Amino acid sequence: MTVPKEMPEKWARAGAPPSWSRKKPSWATEEERRARANDREYNERFQYASNCIKTSKYNILTFLPVNLFEQFQEVANTYFLFLLILQLIPQISSLSWFTTIVPLVLVLTITAVKDATDDYFRHKSDNQVNNRQSQVLINGILQQEQWMNVCVGDIIKLENNQFVAADLLLLSSSEPHGLCYIETAELDGETNMKVRQAIPVTSELGDISKLAKFDGEVICEPPNNKLDKFSGTLYWKENKFPLSNQNMLLRGCVLRNTEWCFGLVIFAGPDTKLMQNSGRTKFKRTSIDRLMNTLVLWIFGFLVCMGVILAIGNAIWEHEVGTRFQVYLPWDEAVDSAFFSGFLSFWSYIIILNTVVPISLYVSVEVIRLGHSYFINWDKKMFCMKKRTPAEARTTTLNEELGQVEYIFSDKTGTLTQNIMVFNKCSINGRSYGDVFDVLGHKAELGERPEPVNFSFNPLADKKFLFWDPTLLEAVKMGDPHTHEFFRLLSLCHTVMSEEKNEGELYYKAQSPDEGALVTAARNFGFVFRSRTPKTITVHEMGTAITYQLLAILDFNNIRKRMSVIVRNPEGKIRLYCKGADTILLDRLHHSTQELLNTTTDHLNEYAGEGLRTLVLAYKDLDEEYYEEWAERRLQASLAQDSREDRLASVYEEVESDMLLLGATAIEDKLQQGVPETIALLTLANIKIWVLTGDKQETAVNIGYSCKMLTDDMTEVFIVTGHTVLEVREELRKAREKMMDSSRTVGNGFTYQEKLSSSKLTSVLEAVAGEYALVINGHSLAHALEADMELEFLETACACKAVICCRVTPLQKAQVVELVKKYKKAVTLAIGDGANDVSMIKTAHIGVGISGQEGIQAVLASDYSFSQFKFLQRLLLVHGRWSYLRMCKFLCYFFYKNFAFTMVHFWFGFFCGFSAQTVYDQYFITLYNIVYTSLPVLAMGVFDQDVPEQRSMEYPKLYEPGQLNLLFNKREFFICIAQGIYTSVLMFFIPYGAFAEATRDDGTQLADYQSFAVTVATSLVIVVSVQIGLDTGYWTAINHFFIWGSLAVYFAILFAMHSNGLFDMFPNQFRFVGNAQNTLAQPTVWLTIVLTTVVCIMPVVAFRFLRLNLKPDLSDTVRYTQLVRKKQKAQHRCMRRVGRTGSRRSGYAFSHQEGFGELIMSGKNMRLSSLALSGFTTRSSSSWIESLRRKKSDSASSPSGGADKPLKG
């Protein structure tokens, strides 16, 4: 079904809905949903989806054809199928069909088994859900029905702890006023209970006989995926009643603390909001994937070129030489000319040379990625003991991209901070509370503070709540009216649910930690929120129970950024209480509060400067007549046929004006453990961190300093707060000018204006001297992201070491990430913990979800997840760097070994009349990639390391080669290809030359075709095995077993294929009995193999030796220093054994060797340590990475010419 995405929808005109109106079937565009209670015949006319869900893709009949169709949509599989078809044509195939079909079938089978297993579990899950039982009201009787048989318009009875079967309109419940409680963990991950309420007109329909007569009709929005919104109207008894999300029970929720309830099915099966949200996430590909696709196309072009060369050679040879041997070597019947012989030879060589791109490459890549994903999942150092939460790789396709990240976009609340809120300070009527002063009037620090405030006067106080300023409690006890009104507002203006398990033991269920902290603070200061109904709130004020009539809740959303309640107190006085963001609320205050506003603003700035989250509180008295008029306008807006939300917002805006200021609250959200150290390490790895937060500027800046993003050593922190396009452009221009002015002395003779107009502006700006940071507000960012200014903003921001965007919306977060993706040659990573971070996480190349206090929506949308921000350093610097290193080494070796293997056929073509005869035995060709050389390269790709994990964390500069894409690019690819071609030349011509005059021990000629094939094949397997031994940096038992085991398997299969036993069973297939034994018994053959191996390998050894001594990498230096340390430790132990005669206790529990505590704790010291380390490598080496970085930035085009992220190479 196609679902319109624009909201709100167009509703039917006022009055009772015409039952005769015709409706398009659900497969067409659905503009509105109509559902009539207890009338299946009417509802079936609209052909709505049934409640049966199907997430599986196949059944027994369709699995084979559909799965094969899907697999052959992969270009590689189609290519190898095409080769197989060619091999079935006898005129052009010199290889048996099984050389291609065996690996192809193996790959297809492995993939099919994986797909079938996944689909089996999907079938199992679908059947389990579809066969759940539900009580449905049919013909006035409650009957047990399977979920799959529930239809739109049915009335369902739910009982406590049952799952909701479909999206229901709540009609009635066992609780007073039609209330019910639900848990939405399966929808949004939030485990706190939420309340839903039936509309008053249906809340009395608790009797089955009344429900059986209910014939109301609902007209509402069509199916969509918006979990927090619903707009509809109930038409019943010639009246209409507005419906909202508060009246809905969504599929996937669980009924809690409610004995029973009845609901009317509005959306069923795939139309439910749960299923609408289960759409597939956009498939992400790595830069290596994209590069591989390009390289495979190049290789295919190279293959065609080789085929053309050999085909031309065949045509010439047949014309000039072959015609003389027609008697002995006649052409096939279909061949009538040398040209046609060359044409057939072209296809023959395409078949023979196709192993330059083996199908096993793609399978091996997936196996390696799967292994890397398991390493992340199994990492105990990323396991959170407190939450019992492991790290999880939710995708297997992005592991190596973790080693190439240049930009991190992070949420603040719950990601950098704990999202555990503590009421810290407040401002009431111009006086600030929360600080403690000593006898001299100086502010006391935390360690110097006296005992916390004693709340023993209040038997309902929360014993975990701590507050340090006793003057606030004194003001409450003294009966200060402003203080009382302040806490009264906090106890009334919220959506918290209260649960009292035992007398006096209150448990609050809050939708956000902020709300919970504020209500708990009011509770401890004597204003205890006790209970609520849909129309009342009961508060114990200083021990006295007072019940307020709840007239209206004007709820919070990301646009309003405030929440209000309208209540009537027992004296009949109506008052509006409002709390919200200062940027919103301060503009809605009465002008008479100006003096108080100035004082409170100073307090707000002070609180924000300390990193506290602030809210402003205000109230407004309403007279009865005005409220009645306003309530009528609100009712009309809620019944509006279109633009319902806009009309309600306008009505809310009207009443939330000219309010009187009460004060402000300040809540502390502490940093997570390890955040400063993590950010310092990632910064040293040349990763730029941008914080995108909804908090106010001062709070975000203070957190920036706390987590070491911003430091006092920075040259300047630019703050952009312009309200207009011109102001923002001017502030960005001044920031760029200051950066350029500070670098004028190191400029290359250009003036600033020349640089500004240069096409390499970004490169120039990023090369400026000094460290800068940029802080920009949400309203300024809105202008900066406009099409004509986004490049100026990007150029300025990318030149800064740190960027903080404040007061941003979820959409702006995604826009900032998209901007960097669009114009920069960089891998982006977004990390967050809440639903407001989902768009950012999905937009970035890599999305990371924090399983924190705000549910699991961010985790569900992410590629990787864990519970604490500090694990990000290990994910990138250890797992990411290793994954990138392993994948690059795997690809380099894979292309090398296959070119060395395949190109021998090319050289042989010049000596066999271009007849497409193969050098190797056809069984060797089949088994080379799937048996002889597959496991050693897989072991290297899964287990290899250049330095241990501790060194990866200690030396973050090791991360930079991945950012610069140094280990596998087009240059490295051509080097591998050149080495492979060089090896193939020696592999062919050394045995060819040696065999030309060689004889056996008995004096007979050694040079026969099969002996030559065995010699070349054996040389090849030994050479590539030695080469992977040189490439392996970290040896495990598995590496040894696979490398030497593969060699042993090669010789075992070789001797078996030339044995009498196989000849006796298959005389037509294994005709060369004893050839391997006879050939390998000759000393000349072994001398040839040794010579070939030495000549192939020695240049590689020599080159690596010279590079290690003349121009070592940073990883080489780290390995060297590690070896030196081991030797020093060994010498130290020997000296202690010899010279120690006495004993002295040490105050330390570990060795006195200099550690890295200061390196990690201090950003400045870390920077110096890394510089000192790079100085280890000799002067030429220390500038190596930097010169490449400058070269990369110089070659990068200006952002104005950018598109999607291009390949690095």
Positions marked catalytic: 411
Residue pair 317/912 in contact by the 8 Å Cβ criterion: no
Query: Cis ω on the peptide bond leading into residue 8 (within 30° of 0)?
Result: yes
DSSP state of 1067: T
Residue pair 43/151 in contact by the 8 Å Cβ criterion: yes
Q: For residues 42 and 23, give the distance between their C-alpha atoms in angstroms, rounded to a whole number.
A: 11
Q: For residues 274 and 187, give the distance between their C-alpha atoms in angstroms, rounded to a whole number.
A: 7
Burial class of residue 607 in the structure, from the number of CB atoms within 10 Å of its CB (0-12 exposed, 13-18 middle, 19+ buried): buried
Beta-sheet pairing, 802-805 with 772-776: parallel
Look at residue 156 and give its three-state secondary structure: strand
Beta-sheet pairing, 536-541 with 544-554: antiparallel
Q: For residues 1188 and 1167, give the distance between their C-alpha atoms in angstroms, rounded to a whole number.
A: 20
CB neighbours of residue 874 within 10 Å: 21
Report residue 628 as tokens: 């009645």
Closest to 1075 in 3D by CA, of 1091, 1090, 1055:
1055
Q: For residues 259 and 160, give the distance between their C-alpha atoms in angstroms, rounded to a whole number.
A: 5
Q: Which amino acid is at 433?
A: Y
The b/e string for 338-350 (b: 16+ C-beta within 10 A; e otherwise) is: bebbbbbbbbbbb
Work out the angle at residue 643's Cα, subtended by the Cα atoms of residues 637 and 644, and round it to the nearest 5 degrees.
35
Look at residue 883 and give its three-state secondary structure: helix
Q: For residues 546 and 538, give the distance between their C-alpha atoms in angstroms, rounded to a whole number.
A: 6
Beta-sheet pairing, 574-580 with 562-568: antiparallel
Look at residue 1136 and give its three-state secondary structure: helix
Closest to 248 in 3D by CA, of 226, 269, 275, 270:
226
Q: For residues 960 and 499, give the distance between their C-alpha atoms in angstroms, rounded to a whole number.
A: 53
For tokens 């010169």, name the residue.
1187
For tokens 């901070």, name the residue.
417
Q: For residues 880 and 870, give the distance between their C-alpha atoms in angstroms, rounded to a whole number.
A: 15
The b/e string for 394-420 (b: 16+ C-beta within 10 A; e otherwise) is: bbbbbbbbbbbbbbbbbbbbbbbbbbe
Please report the DSSP string for 713-728 in residue order: TSSEEEEE--SSHHHH
Q: For residues 283 and 980, give the distance between their C-alpha atoms in angstroms, rounded to a whole number.
A: 34
Give the long-range contacts of residues 233-238, CB within 8 A, separation 24 or more.
233/11, 233/12, 233/639, 234/169, 234/199, 234/201, 234/202, 235/16, 235/17, 236/201, 236/202, 238/16
CB neighbours of residue 124 within 10 Å: 11
Beta-sheet pairing, 846-850 with 827-832: parallel
* Alpha helix positions (H), 40-97: 40-44, 63-71, 75-87
Give Cα 931 to chain centroid, integer Å. 35
Which residues, listed in sequence order, are joined to residue 135 by a DSSP beta bridge? Answer: 144, 157
